[in-house]
Amino acid sequence: MDLKIFPPDELTGAPVALPLSKSESNRQLIIAALTPGGKRPRTVAECDDTDALLGGLDATSGCVNVGAAGTAMRFLTAYFACKPGVDLVLDGSERMRRRPIAPLVDALRSLGADIEYAAAEGFPPLRIKGRMLEGGVADLDATVSSQFVSALLMIAPTMQHGLTLNLRGRVISTPYILMTLSLMEAAGIKARADFDAGTISVDYGLYKPTLPDVEADWSAASYWFEIAAVSAEPVSLLGLRERSLQGDAAVGRLFEITGLRSNFDSDGTLRLQLTPDAGSQLAVDFSNNPDLAQTMAVTCCLLALPFRFDGLQSLRIKETDRLAALQMELSKLGFIVDIEEPGTLIWRGARFDPGDDIEPIATYTDHRMAMAFAPAALYYPGLQINNAEVVSKSYPRFWSHLRAAGFTLEEVNNSDA
């Protein structure tokens, strides 16, 4: 499905009921599945990623295919490894088969797991035979994905000797690890974490069915921050918490450079309002919040705010190479963006006139590409987003929410193109 997007004369002002956090949902589902007598959360995110995890949780044999759901691949690898009686193959999309998983597999093997590569060494698919893991001490390269860390931590209480995890290299996306630890503690398992020393320890124990309700998704909120900043109109968001477990709640602080201010009302509604207090350029290390980088890059270009974004090396192994994708698609709008290795994105203000016939925005099967570029239609009416259905990975109702806000969406009939 390809969509052309036309902006409204003004936003309707209707509050946006954001989707639930898939990051929190997926962690709660794993913890609940490991809890004796535990029940699954009453409500979880309704999206492809969480559906993929749910679809695999009860499997014990055959082939479990999680598609493009990276979180499900990492979490289920550890979950299946610690479940006696499991004998299955865990697979994914072609892109998933090119996303590295060796650091997690190596750590699990060192703890007693029986995992083999069913095709290319270091990548899915995986043949997993579940067993009670001995546990002990494991080393893990923490520079690739924080989901490897979270996957190991959540199964740590099931290990005979618990787990001491030694994190090697610079730990990325630390807020996601802290979310995992907070949810584990809410379920009765307290870890001992020393990030300065690079160690996290968890004793053998039993989870308790005491998890909180799942919060709305701050990553999804970021696209509405972008819309508010670019349109200069107020936006109201529902379902978020002022004290959030999600690292992407940092979006409020990051968007202050645009002049956008966010405040919670007494009823819990988050109000976004643009002020004249915009900055002139932005330098940010996104190591802890890589999922916000696409939103911020498009926003800053549209608002003529030069930027330097560091700490983005993990974007190379996401649903697509997000650095290369951003560089290519922003060039279609006339912005000349540079990439410096290993993971820096820079816009120094260079641009050119893209003309009236702007090429459609490619999404690379990446939900965040579609949603980050959609607000650009406020400056480029009729902007086309190709394969717009990819938003189902995390925010299936994104396009209907845009319509409710006043945007006009026209489906492109490719047979007539």
Task: Kindly state the average pLDDT of the residues 399-403.
Answer: 98
pLDDT value, residue 414 = 72
Are the C-beta atoms of residues 260 and 274 closer than 8 Å to each other?
yes
pLDDT band of residue 318 (cuts 50, 70, 90) is confident
Do the domains 22-202 and 3-18+215-416 match in fold?
A: yes
Name the superfamily (CATH) of residues 3-18+215-416. Answer: Enolpyruvate transferase domain (3.65.10.10)
> Taking 70 as the threshold, does the pLDDT of residue 131 lie above it?
yes
pLDDT value, residue 156 = 98
Tens-place pLDDT, residues 29-88 = 999 999 998 889 989 999 999 999 999 999 999 999 999 999 999 999 999 999 999 999
pLDDT band of residue 340 (cuts 50, 70, 90) is very high
pLDDT band of residue 323 (cuts 50, 70, 90) is very high
pLDDT value, residue 96 = 96
- DSSP letter string over 178-212? HHHHHHHHHTT---EEETTTTEEEE-S----S-PP
> At 363, is the secondary structure helix, strand, or coil?
coil
pLDDT value, residue 417 = 43
Percent of the chain predicted with pLDDT > 90:
94
Catalytic residues: 291
On average, the pLDDT of the chain sits at 96
> Taking 90 as the threshold, does the pLDDT of residue 413 lie above it?
no
- The residue among 261, 262, 210, 224 whose CA lies nearest residue 241 is 262
> Taking 90 as the threshold, does the pLDDT of residue 398 lie above it?
yes
State in words which class domain 22-202 has: alpha beta
pLDDT value, residue 415 = 56
Domain residue spans in the chain? 3-18+215-416, 22-202
C-alpha of 254 from chain center: 17
**Which residues are CB-contacts of 356 (< 8 A; sequence separation ≥ 6)?**
none
Residue 380 corresponds to which amino acid?
Answer: Y
Burial 190-214, CB ≥16 within 10 A → b, else e: ebebeeeebebbbbeeebeeebeeb
Longest CA span, the chain = 65
How many other C-beta atoms are found inside a 10 Å radius of the C-beta of residue 43?
10
Distance separating alpha carbons of residues 8 and 229, to the nearest angstrom: 15
pLDDT band of residue 2 (cuts 50, 70, 90) is very high
- DSSP letter string over 37-93? T----SS---SHHHHHHHHHHT--EEEEE-TT-HHHHHHHHHHHHTSTT-EEEEE--
Task: Kindly state the average pLDDT of the residues 240-244.
Answer: 96
- The residue among 176, 126, 93 whose CA lies nearest residue 390 is 93
DSSP state of 281: -
36-40, 275-279, 331-335, range with the lowest pLDDT: 36-40
Tens-place pLDDT, residues 151-200 = 999 999 999 999 999 999 988 899 999 999 999 999 999 999 999 999 99
Task: Kindly state the average pLDDT of the residues 104-111.
Answer: 98
Strands 3-6 and 408-411 turn out to be antiparallel
